[in-house]
Structure 1
Amino acid sequence: MKIGANPNWFANNPLLRLNNEKDSTAFIRARLADPDSLMIPLWQGDPLVIDGKKAGFLSTAARSEFPQGATTVFLGLKNDRAYFGIDASATSQAPETAAFADIGEYMSLRMAASELNRDDLAVIGHARWLIEWRRTHQFCSACGHETDLQLGGAKSQCPNCEAIHFPRSNPVAIVLATHKDACLLGRGPSWPPGFLSALAGFIEAGETPEEAAKRELFEEAGIMLTDVRYQFSQPWPFPASMMMGFIADAEDRDLNLDTDEIEEARWVAKSDIRLLLDKDENAPEGIFVPPRFTIARQLLEIWAR
């Protein structure tokens, strides 16, 4: 796949990132003081959205409305304009009373993914990733001392033992298993009935993504895979996963479900998948495919089309 051809939401970030190995403290400080720089506020990871459809990017001059210690992260440059993310959770315990809630709403990022343009979503996803990492990793894993953010949030360093820490990415293999003219879809116990998706699981230590794909499908559904083919990846900021998408052939359609992980799974014909993707009136009832912003949906589009 050519660079830039990734069809997934939260990918193809339009911003130019700085080299996170160089000391850019003075540069970032100057850009924060520049009123032409923009920032996106997030309350517990959800972005400010104006009129239900526009990302609420504000001038960095609006930082005066936030506490001095509010986590602020540098995201990159576009047309020489700097972009930042700022944690609005520091201003209120409720989104309705957080800073700048009077000009918009802090919309669930999953809902916003269906409303905002994809460039803005990639920027917002990056901001959520860094802010959430700071919230959950304030202390040094080596000595327990509180760390200092550096390079605009691209890393942190412990002032006590000098250990350096970087934002975490949790690798996941997500697999659309196919057998002739059908694909396997399933749902976890917490999902509503009929909401089906490709099966997925975290990649374990010392394991390749292809090995994880085979292991997960066997563990969760009793399916043996052959010809596991990588398609594309997706940064998934819920909270910090890197989804690696595969399409693979199954040896047969015999299922043996791990019911702790999979409540329901079924083989769905390619013709029915096409009807479901097109929202055709003849589509089978009681089945709901993943929304467009998910990598599972893009795997279905690739296979069914």
Structure 2
Amino acid sequence: MTAFDSFPLGKPAFVTHILDRAAHLRSDDSKLMALEERRDARAYVVHRDSLVMKQEAEGPHALLTIEEALKFGANPGTIFLGLRDNAPLFGMGISAAAVESLLSRNDVKASELRGMVMQGLVPVEQLSAIAVAKSMVNWHQRHGYCANCGTRTAMREGGWKRECPNCKAEHFPRTDPVVIMLVTSGDKVLMGRQKQFPPGMYSCLAGFVEAAETIEDAVRREIFEESGIRCTDVNYYMTQPWPYPSSLMIGCTARATTDDIVVDRSELEDARWFDRAEATLMLKRQHPDGLAGPHPFAIAHHLLGRWVHGGEDGRA
């Protein structure tokens, strides 16, 4: 099975094999400590966009025992992610200095998550839990001080809250909503490319939802700002958690009411209309000009794939 086969249509990364988050255990420190001490407790160790992976004969493994995680240099504070098959899972951070010390070792390394997933080296059934670990660890690393008074805050409730000892303010993880849109006009679809994309890759346009803005308004605004295209008939498809650092991708479709593209070069390198045949070849990586669509890892692939196999609005 290839990495492409791992994400069938409608099932991008991070959306399947959801954990039992067991939120009722977060406020019970004694139970959390007991869970951490269990023999079947495991942890994902996160550094920025990478996972600490144990190297074994059959390949890299991201799930570590708590003892292994600490031995490799992980920070001692654990974040309770939840239960899988009744076994407790935790997230742990690790410093840049500790990661640096791993570079000379053969039994462990820190590997960039997205690349590992695209190579099929991380089991799909672990990705949902890894997304939680990555989002939560990164949130703690970015929010160590009270936004109200500047005092160093402390982890509470299994890592799902930070509390200020000075002003008593409570701080909770946030998720940023992002709209990602498949825009069609008859039998053609709008896609763009950013300069950091791999050569020849085009994808759906996307952007953050702004304050006091509806999803529908965000879709119309982002499409117009990036491409100059006016849209209507905005419809919801599905969402994808996206731990970069902690977003929720809101997949939508929309119908264009204009055709002339005016690219915002500060956002996109290019934007084009593609017909269904061309888009099909791009998804299959068979386009004669070497153009490619998004990887099945991402919701954009599934928006485009549904349209390729379905009608004008993408519904098969």
Aligned match for 2:80, one of 74, 84, 87: 74
Map of 2:313 onto structure 1: none
**Is the CA contact (8 Å cut-off) linking 2:74 and 2:98 kept in structure 1?**
no
Runs of 4+ displaced beyond 6 Å: none
Gap change, CA 1:64 and 1:221, over 3 Å in 2: closer
Does residue 1:103 correspond to 2:107, yes or no? yes
Aligned match for 2:218, one of 212, 237, 243: 212
Q: CA deviation at 1:154?
A: 1.1
Aligned match for 1:39, one of 43, 48, 52: 43
**Is the CA contact (8 Å cut-off) linking 1:189 and 1:260 kept in structure 2?**
no
Matches of 2:249 and 2:74, distance apart in 1 = 35
Q: CA-to-partner distance for each residue in 1:56-85, whole Å, 9 max, x for gaps?
A: 212223354266854421111012110012
Q: CA-to-partner distance for each residue in 1:192-227, whole Å, 9 max, x for gaps?
A: 442211001100000011110000001111111111
Q: CA deviation at 1:278?
A: 2.4
- 37-46 vs 14-23, greater mean Cα deviation: 14-23
Q: CA-to-partner distance for each residue in 1:138-161, whole Å, 9 max, x for gaps?
A: 011111111111122111111111
Aligned match for 2:253, one of 232, 247, 272: 247
Matches of 1:8 and 1:86, distance apart in 2 = 25
State the percentage of identical aligned residues. Answer: 34
Aligned match for 1:89, one of 71, 91, 95: 95
Q: CA deviation at 1:46?
A: 1.1
Matches of 1:278 and 1:194, distance apart in 2 = 13
Matches of 1:48 and 1:58, distance apart in 2 = 9
Aligned match for 2:231, one of 200, 225, 245: 225
Gap change, CA 1:9 and 1:166, over 3 Å in 2: same
Q: CA deviation at 1:90?
A: 6.1
Q: CA deviation at 1:11?
A: 1.6
**Is the CA contact (8 Å cut-off) linking 2:181 and 2:204 kept in structure 1?**
yes
SS of the aligned residue for 2:212 comes to coil
Map of 2:3 onto structure 1: none
Letter paired with 1:135: Q
Aligned match for 1:157, one of 143, 157, 163: 163
Matches of 2:24 and 2:212, distance apart in 1 = 27
Letter paired with 2:111: M
Q: CA-to-partner distance for each residue in 1:117-158, whole Å, 9 max, x for gaps?
A: 222111111101000000000011111111111122111111
Letter paired with 1:16: D
Gap change, CA 1:97 and 1:193, over 3 Å in 2: closer
Matched pairs, number = 297
Does residue 1:144 correspond to 2:141, yes or no? no
Gap change, CA 1:63 and 1:92, over 3 Å in 2: closer
Matches of 2:11 and 2:185, distance apart in 1 = 24
Map of 2:243 onto structure 1: 237
Q: CA-to-partner distance for each residue in 1:158-211, whole Å, 9 max, x for gaps?
A: 111111111111110111111111111111234344221100110000001111
TM-score normalized by the length of structure 2: 0.87
TM-score normalized by the length of structure 1: 0.90
SS of the aligned residue for 1:290 comes to coil
Gap change, CA 1:284 and 1:178, over 3 Å in 2: farther
Q: CA deviation at 1:8?
A: 2.1
1:55-66 matches, within 5 Å, as: 55-65=61-71
1:196-207 matches, within 5 Å, as: 196-207=202-213
Q: CA deviation at 1:276?
A: 2.1
Unaligned runs of 5+ in 1: none
**Is the CA contact (8 Å cut-off) linking 2:237 and 2:253 kept in structure 1?**
yes
Map of 2:6 onto structure 1: none
Matches of 2:290 and 2:70, distance apart in 1 = 50
Gap change, CA 1:20 and 1:263, over 3 Å in 2: farther
Q: CA deviation at 1:35?
A: 2.2
Aligned match for 2:116, one of 112, 117, 120: 112
Map of 1:27 onto structure 2: 31
Matches of 2:186 and 2:288, distance apart in 1 = 19
SS of the aligned residue for 1:92 comes to helix
